[in-house]
Amino acid sequence: MKKLLPIAVLAVAACVAMPASAQSGYTQTRHPIVLVHGLFGFDAIGPVDYWWGVPSALRSSGAKVYVTQQSAANASEVRGEQLLAELRRLQAAYGHQKFNLIGHSHGGHTIRYVAAVAPELVASATSVGSPHAGSPVADDIAAAVDGTGSTAVAAKLMDAFAGLVSALSGEAKPQNSEAAMRSLTTQGSAAFTQRFPAGKPSEPCGEGLAVVNNVRYYSIGGTGVVTNLLDPTDGLMAVGSLSFKGGANDGLVGRCSSHWGVVLRDNYPWNHLDEVNQAFGLRGLFTPDPVAFYRTHANRLKLAGL
């Protein structure tokens, strides 16, 4: 017994020294976490995860995590119905009662739809870089294709791209790029919010109710654009940021547009893809780790009994 004592002491000391975020059970929420991708997104294509490094990091300390796949491009309501069907399948297969939904970009609209039509299935809804008030980028694209009469041609090209993304990720889903574009415009998002207002900020750039119909609402956003010159996607973010005419944005979504429910933070130094740790974890030097955010948020949900 005396020989075992030093080993026991060392084990206890190691646990005390270990950061809280690394300890077993840190992300072990009561209800499973469900990650919902945005426009032109996917669950995984080969070794490439949309949520780069996030699911494994959450699972490593206790979380049950599901990564769903909706149409890469479609209307908010259509994507919402697809998510709802997937949650009901998971409920039937594994007996889950509720889910903690986390949606990136257009995924924010998707999870809001489910939280509104089936609140009994949702413990929390967290939106990440979601254009709840619409995106000027979508407005400019809609104006350009409508003004040049090229809407149908552009939609076919984007539908083909979205279909390819879905096929490569192993899911054959219906695609409707024009419907997705209309959903993400200022006008389309306003119409969606009129139908599904739970969590809406009480004033522009403010916060909404923390809990509606027993669903807790959270949101975060970024205000970085070009964050890493080695990241090839930063060029797209730079082009998208032009639509904001100097307003704070993440390349595709404005700072205030990301607000919904309790705003955890709206100015992370991340661009739109940094928010899901893409591309391949490239981001600005000395900026917060997106994966660490998801772990911390899972712990927040755990402590709230969710």
Annotated catalytic sites, by residue?
105, 250, 272
Long-range Cβ contact pairs of 231-240 (< 8 A, separation 24 or more): 231/273, 231/279, 231/282, 231/283, 232/279, 233/273, 233/278, 233/279, 234/271, 237/271, 237/272, 237/273, 240/137, 240/272
Cα–Cα distance for residue pair 161/155, rounded to 1 Å: 10
Q: Hunting for tokens 């607000």 — which residue is that? A: 259
Evaluate whether 271 touches 250 at the Cβ level (below 8 Å). Answer: yes
Cα–Cα distance for residue pair 196/156, rounded to 1 Å: 29
Strands 99-104 and 215-222: unpaired
Evaluate whether 114 touches 139 at the Cβ level (below 8 Å). Answer: no
Evaluate whether 12 touches 237 at the Cβ level (below 8 Å). Answer: no
Ramachandran assignment for 237, one of left (phi > 0), alpha (psi -120 to 50 degrees), beta (any other): alpha
Which one, of 91, 90, 84, 95, lies nearest residue 117 by Cα?
84
